[in-house]
Structure 1
Amino acid sequence: MSKALLVIDVQNEYFTGKLPIFNRDASLKNILKAIEYANTNGIKVILIKHIIPSPEAPVFAVHSYGAEIKQEVAEQPHNLIIEKHLPGSFTGTPLEEWLRSNQIDTLTICGYMTHMCCDTTSRQAVHLGFKVEFLSDATGTLDLSNKAGTIDANTLHETILIVQASRFADVLTTEAWCQL
């Protein structure tokens, strides 16, 4: 079994922009711990970056500070950076081809947002035949309110973890993952 750590959308937008992640300092600490563990143990590290092609986009605008990968993450050794334009990390990207050419069969997901890009990528991975691990304390989301209702970040995060564990992924803490 060969693993890759997908570090999804750990970008400035979630730290200094319009999309403040709940509990971001704790999740960032665990993301960095997962990256360090992966690099020490021969696990490939892939940084994924969400970009909206328009420079006028309200978030993740191409060439904007908000779209940049958080410096502490970008400075870590990694094997590949993938840019995406939709929530799923496989849609319109070379991710699947790269994983298959490197004989990766297990993906470990960390990053942002739990309910959107992390969840979508996990589901896509399962549909493509990959085994998925989802790091509960190295992912995060935000309070969400729209015409369907309102949910706080903690409840949304826990709900997605429960759904992921019910069918899609082995949900683990970073500490437990580092003990595998």
Structure 2
Amino acid sequence: MAQPALLIIDMQKGMRDCPVPRNNPQAEIRIAELLSAWRAAEAPIVHVRHISRTPGSPFWPGQPGVEFQPELAPLAHEHVVEKNVPDAFVNSGLERWLRVRGIEELVIVGVSTNNSVEGTARSAGNLGFRTHVVADACFAFEKRDFLGNLRSAEAVHAMALGNLQGEYADVLEASAALVRLRIG
């Protein structure tokens, strides 16, 4: 059985520079720990990069914000998926790449919990992958709800994880995600 793939979503410089308050300031540390463990186990890693279709966006091609954060940048042999919408499976070839390699289990980390992480995890679950979202290796930004009420980044994060838990994915902590690796 193939090792689970680590999907690192949108850990680009533009996310680090976002002025909107966020939660989970330790997320990048947890992601780096998981990335190091996956590399040591020679398990599959997929780096997902958002490429905006909106001129002037920090994620527009050629802007510094589109580049991966250096400490989380892919190595030459690691797979990179580019997307234009929150869901990393849409028009990216990600599903085929995983299926060809016999990968049936995904561990998802990154940003933002309620957007690209949630969108990707929903599709992964719907496509039949055993999907895990690492709560302490994701983060969200504060956001206004449909009624105009400002919700804290922690509340947005918690609701997104609640939307996923048990229906599309298992939500776990980084320490439990490491158990998913089969070392040796």
Q: Which residue matches 2:64?
A: 65
User: Would the aligned equivalents of 1:52 and 1:62 in 2 still touch at CA under 8 Å?
Assistant: yes
> Separation in 2 of the partners of 1:17 and 1:70?
13
Deviation at 1:164, TM superposition (A): 1.3
Identity over aligned pairs, percent: 28
Change over 3 Å in CA distance of 1:123–1:95 after alignment to 2: same
Query: CA separation in 2, counterparts of 1:19 and 1:98?
Result: 34
Distance 1:130 1:123, change over 3 A: same
Q: Give the letter aligned to residue 14 of structure 2.
A: E
| Structure 2 unaligned residues grouped into runs of 5+ | none
Question: Is 1:37 paired with 2:40?
Answer: no
1:88-167 mapped onto 2 (5 Å cutoff): 88-145=87-144, 148-149=147-148, 150-167=150-167
Cα 1:117/1:174, change in 2 over 3 Å: same
Contact 1:114/1:160, CA 8 A, preserved across alignment: yes
d(CA) in 2 for partners of 1:60 and 1:158? 26
In structure 2, the partner of 1:16 is: 17
Counterpart position of 1:174: 174
Secondary structure of 1:166's partner? Answer: coil
The SS at the match of 1:133 is strand
**1:77 Cα deviation after fit:** 6.9
Give, in whole Å, the separation in 2 of the partners of 1:97 and 1:5.
16
The aligned length equals 178
Closer/same/farther in 2, CA of residues 77 and 154 from structure 1, 3 Å limit: farther
User: Normalised by the size of structure 2, how large is the TM-score?
Assistant: 0.89
TM-score calculated relative to the size of structure 1: 0.91
C-alpha distance in structure 1 between counterparts of 2:77 and 2:13, whole Å: 18
Distance in 2 between the 1:62 and 1:9 partners? Answer: 14
Change in CA separation of 1:76 and 1:30 when aligned onto 2, cut-off 3 Å: farther
